[in-house]
Amino acid sequence: MSTPGAPRSAAAHADQYRIAVSPGIDTDEDHDHGDELGPTGRPYRPVPEPQPLERHGPATVVAVCNQKGGVGKTTSTINLGAALAEYGRRVLLVDLDPQGALSAGLGVAHHDLDETVYNLLVPPHAATDDVLMRTRVDGLDLLPSNIDLSAAEIQLVSEVGREQALARALHPVLDRYDFVLIDCQPSLGLLTVNALACADTVLIPMECEYFSLRGLALLTDTIEKVHDRLNPRLDLGGILVTMFDSRTLHSREVMARVVEVFGDTVYDTVISRTVRFPETSVAGEPITSWAPKSAGAQAYRALAREVIARNSRRT
C-alpha cells in the first residue's frame, strides 16, 4: 500500500469499484505457468522457491482481515499457516474471533478451554505460554479463542492503551516465529483494530463477488486510519481472491476490476471453489494434510511462496 495521506471516506472509494460489463476469457489453472495468463488476467510473476532458514524470528505479523463474513478468512489463515510451516517457517495462528472457527478448524474443543486469547487481553492477564497450544502440524502453533472473547471489547473500552492489548500479549513470543497470522472477526470493531495495530501487513481475502468488492472501500479506509494514528508500519500486503469460478462472467468481471483498482497488490494465486474446504473443517486439519494433492492444497502452497517472497522484499 502506498503511504496514506488524509484518510478518504468510504463513499469516496466507492465509485472505483463499479464494474463495466465486458466479455471475459476463461482460464484454466496450470502449474506449468510459462508466459500464459493466470486467473487474474495477468501473466504469473516469477516466485522463487523458499529457501531453508538458518534461524527463526522475529515474526512478521499478518492480520487476515475483512469485515464481510464468509469470504474465506479462517480457511485461508489455517491453510496458509500450514503451507508456510511446510516450507520450514514457524507459524503462530491467533484466533481473534469469538466464534472460535479457527480453533475448531484445527480440531480444538475450544468451548472447554479455561484460558484463551480473552485471558491475554483483559486483566488479570494470563501468560502467553499458558494459552499457547501445539497443533497437529509441525511448526504450527495456536492461540485459541471461544465465546468468552465477545466480552473483551466491552471490558477493553476503559483500559489505557486498549488498541495495543494484543500487541502486548504477542510481544513475548515474536522471536520464536517467522509468521504470526491473526484471524480477525468479520467486523471493524476494537478487536480488529487491535490486530491492525500490531500487524506489519494486512492480507485481505475477498470473495469474487460484487458486494465484497464494494466492501473493500470501508476496509482500506480503516487500514489507512490505523496506519496514520496507531501503526505507521502497517501496509496492505495483498488481496487474495477466493471462491473464484472462471466459468461465470460475474467472477471474471469482478476479478478484472479488483486487479484494475489494486494492481500488483492482488496475489497471482486465486482460491477456487471446492468441496474440499468444508471437508477439512469437519476433519479439523488443513487441506495440505487432509488432501495434499488437491488443487486447493496446491493453491495455498503457491500463496505461501508469494507471501514469503513479498516478506523477503519487505525485510
Number of domains observed in the structure of the chain: 1
Asked if residue 81 belongs to a domain, the reply is yes
Asked if residue 155 belongs to a domain, the reply is yes
Asked if residue 206 belongs to a domain, the reply is yes
Stated pTM of the model: 0.87
Asked if residue 110 belongs to a domain, the reply is yes
Written as one letter, the residue type at 48 is P
Judging by beta carbons within 10 Å of its beta carbon (0-12, 13-18, 19+), is residue 161 exposed, middle or buried? exposed
Asked if residue 153 belongs to a domain, the reply is yes
The model's pLDDT over 127-162, given as tens digits with 9 standing for 90+, comes to 999 999 999 999 999 999 999 999 998 999 888 899
The model's pLDDT over 33-67, given as tens digits with 9 standing for 90+, comes to 556 788 998 999 999 999 999 999 899 999 999 99
Q: What is the mean pLDDT of the chain?
A: 87
The CA–CA distances, whole Å, from 149 to 22, 86, 120, 136 equal 45, 30, 10, 24
The radius of gyration computed from the CA coordinates of the chain, to the nearest angstrom, equals: 19
- Domain CATH for 299: 3.40.50.300
Is 1's pLDDT higher than 60? Answer: no
Asked if residue 20 belongs to a domain, the reply is no
Range of the domain at 86: 52-314
- pLDDT for residue 112: 87
The model's pLDDT over 66-89, given as tens digits with 9 standing for 90+, comes to 998 889 999 999 999 999 999 999
Asked if residue 30 belongs to a domain, the reply is no
- Of 34, 35, 75, 61, the closest CA to residue 307 belongs to 61
